[in-house]
Chains A and B, each alone.
Chain A
Amino acid sequence: MLKIPQSIYAEMRLHGEETYPHECCGVLLGAFDGDNARVVKALARAGNTRTDSPENRYNIDPRELVRIQREGRERGFDIVGFYHSHPDHPAQWSKTDLAEAHWIGCSYVITSVQQRAAEKTNSFLLSGTDEEGKYFEDEQLIVG
């Protein structure tokens, strides 16, 4: 389960509309609530370094993640997930999304942006015990 305030949910979707037709990406900061829930308290936009193929690829510079993590820790927040957009594609994870996902235990949120308008947003929990056995499972997204 991922709990996210309406204001942050809206900001995340707006980011996808602003970067259309390119994929947007960013980090969700907050706290873990037991083993089954993540609570978002803040959002940090990130740059997409995949300037070679931004319409269907994203990558966050690890250096930027180091900064975001540090600033988050100063505010008492942890990295609980990541978000990105799929321009003119469904809000469903792809083989590439899974292959490039390594933060087991975190939420991966995807927004479908159709013709510059954010439509469906889905959240997926990266599960498993190791890199070889990882998988995405649908998770409930609670907004408000």
Chain B
Amino acid sequence: MQFWDPRIEEMPQADLKKMQYKLLKSLVCRLYSFSPFYHDRMKEQKVHPDDIRELADVKKLPFMFKKDLRDNYPNRIFTASQEELVRYHVSSGTTGKPTVVGYTQKDIDMWSTSIARGLTAIGLGRGDVIQVSYGYGLFTGGLGLHYGAERIGATVLPTSVGNTERQVELMQDLEVTAIACTPSYLLHIGEVAEKMGVDIKKDTHLRAGILGAEPWTENMRKRMENWLGIKAYDIYGTSELSGPMFTECAEQNGFHIWSDIALVEVIDPKTGESLEPGEKGELTLTMLQKEALPMIRYRIGDIASVDEDVCPCGRTSPRINRIQGRVDDMLIIRGINVFPSQVEYTLMTIPEVGQHFQIVVERKGALDDMLVRVELTKEAFSDKINDLMLIRQNVEHRLRNALNVAVDVELVEPGSLPRFEGKSKKVIDKRVL
């Protein structure tokens, strides 16, 4: 059994909690003193750093939401100056404005360390060739896994997404042993390989997949493992916390949330009350060591439960089991988070279409396909098919820019989309995972 940081990964749980308390206390003191945002938040909540006397006192602290990042676009709640930052990542926001995450060198190091521990836990290391087929760029997946894989001394093949035939050729030629990408992209790679006459099981050295950025199931795991002859591991994270950062270990039974990096709570999404280990609720994470953008009790919106038992692999940190859903209506399309409110916001700026819309998500082959149905307004109706095609292209273009994901648009007759009283159901998700 390999460990990257055996001292922390195997630390007795009582010691881990002591360490977490110290980190939390110092974080709270620092933020209360130096960050107007956190200072005001704590004042509103009537909590002072002196009130944090044990780890359980984390419950006294106010929650944070994605909205806080959006409202403070681009960098107003950063607690490091621009000179201290070494990188930005940007993800699309829920309504137009994106969210920006800044990283100091230490933030990048902690992120890479977290991934390095996970990759080590699944048996990867020096001598492995890791193909990173997550998107590189503003999205955190590509660079996150890249730095983590380099950290353990593996050889990185930074293929990013796309040009799948070439990805298969390189996988063979450079004897790739592990791939990091979304589960749906790995399925796509598998299908393309088959068409090329390449049997990934027999014709390549691939033996592990680090798959995340979108939900998948145990069924998909079994299918991919049998079909491709690999072990498939889940990885969890979100850009607000750095990016993908917590993987399963060889046991394949939950993400290890490293206690020196994050404090995980599960709460009742309605009341905000803390739930017991094993109970299902909304994941709430406090990043204990982040410098540029600390997140305290950040409500991610994912539903899961926490297992605090020591893992059979020997690691003592708590584990989150598979994500079981969302508290909101967020969709994940080809690894990209999409909120129906973003669609609504974008459509409102296009006079040719009405405010009503319907999103239909399907899985065609291995890839997600998102269709947005919109009503053509009376004023925009033209007798010429070309004009109508241009309207549709424009809507597709605008949605693509806002969501960072390709969208098909269908123009429908006014009044034909369902109207809802109260909570609307604007999303039809036909995907079977």
Co-complex (A, B): no
